[in-house]
Amino acid sequence: MTVKNTHNSSDNSDPARHLSGKNGPRVALLWQSNLQHCKASAVELTRLILKVQHTSTVICLIQEPYLVKGKISYLNEIKCKSFVPCRNARTAILCSKELNVWYSPSLSDRDTTTIILKDKLMGEIVISSMYFDILMGLPNMLERLSKETRPLVICADTNAHSVLWGCEESNPRGEMLEEFIIQNDLLIQNVGNNPTYVSRGAETIIDVTFTKNSTDEMIHNWHVDSRTLFSDHRLIQMEITISTVET
């Protein structure tokens, strides 16, 4: 059964509380953003990471990243690990260097980037950034990820409308995804009905956060940020409580 997350969606985070002792519990910032392959969007995301990286642990799940020769070229300014599955990737992940994470090639493809986070309490946590091509059906990798028995977080640009994540109505693509979500016991972390996509007067919610296997208990303060990243997609921010061993 799919349950709507009821965490408070207000942005009441305090950067100081993201700090912790080595190897102890911490509240990491988990960001979800579609950059639409735009350099200005990438620069703005870099600016936001620079602003918080000295006080916070950051995990950023990106759809349609800005790449130069298949790589994220703006990393010299920020202290992050980067994961890009291929030269023409439509997803990527950035995360703070101190996190004990590794890339999972078996759970990645052009439209999916997956990392594994080693956590002292939860074991291995599977974290995926996904892009659902609007001209195709549901991605095959979603089926594979949904069978995971490890704790799972998926941040996706679904290109689908559904009342389950705050749209006024579901479209056929959304209904197909709704059925899949229910059959595979995925939970939706979206809170409220603030649009995640705004363009030329059109507003909708297509960017969705899914969890499975107890990770919903780790996610807090999910909200759509009001700031623009020079993209039609709004930045989504949330917090995730982790107890990872530093590398």
CATH number at residue 88: 3.60.10.10
Each residue of 150-177: pLDDT tens digit?
Answer: 999 999 999 999 999 999 999 999 999 9
How much is the pLDDT for 246? 64
Considering the chain, what is the average pLDDT of its residues?
90
pTM greater than 0.75: yes
Q: How many domains does the chain have?
A: 1
Domain-embedded: residue 8: no
Residue 33 lies inside a defined structural domain of this protein: yes
| Cβ(31)–Cβ(58) below 8 Å | yes
Output b/e per residue, 178-217; b: 16+ Cβ within 10 A: beebeebebbbbbbeebbbbbeeeeebbbbbbbbbbebbe
Arithmetic mean of pLDDT, 123-143: 97
For residue 40, the tally of other CB atoms under 10 A from its CB is 13
Could you please report the per-residue DSSP string of the chain? ---B--S--S----GGGG---TTS-EEEEEEEEE-TT-HHHHHHHHHHHHHHTTT--EEEEEES---BTTB-TTGGGS-EEEE-SSTT-SEEEEEETTS-EEE-GGG-BTTEEEEEEEETTTEEEEEEEEE--TTS-S-HHHHHHHT--S-EEEEEE-----GGGT-SS--HHHHHHHHHHHHTT-EE---S---SEEETTEEE--EEEEEETTGGGTEEEEEE-SS--SSSBPPEEEEEEE-BPP-
Question: pLDDT, tens digit, for every residue of 8-44?
Answer: 444 444 443 454 445 567 899 999 999 999 999 999 9
Look at residue 10 in the predicted model and tell me its pLDDT: 44
Asked whether residue 224 is domain-assigned, the answer is yes
Tell me whether residue 1 is in a domain: no
The verdict on residue 127 lying in a domain is yes
Q: What would the pLDDT profile of 62-117 be if each residue is shown by its tens digit?
A: 999 999 999 887 767 788 999 999 999 999 999 999 999 999 999 999 999 999 99
**In the prediction, which pLDDT does 228 show?**
79
197 is in which domain, residue-wise?
A: 25-242
Inform me whether the pLDDT recorded for 186 exceeds 90: yes
Please tell me the predicted confidence (pLDDT) of residue 200. Answer: 83
Cβ neighbourhood burial of 52 (10 Å; 0-12, 13-18, 19+)? middle
Other residues' Cβ atoms within 10 Å of the Cβ of residue 235:
24
**Section 213-219 average pLDDT:** 93
| pLDDT at 79 (0 to 100) | 83
In a domain, 12, yes or no: no
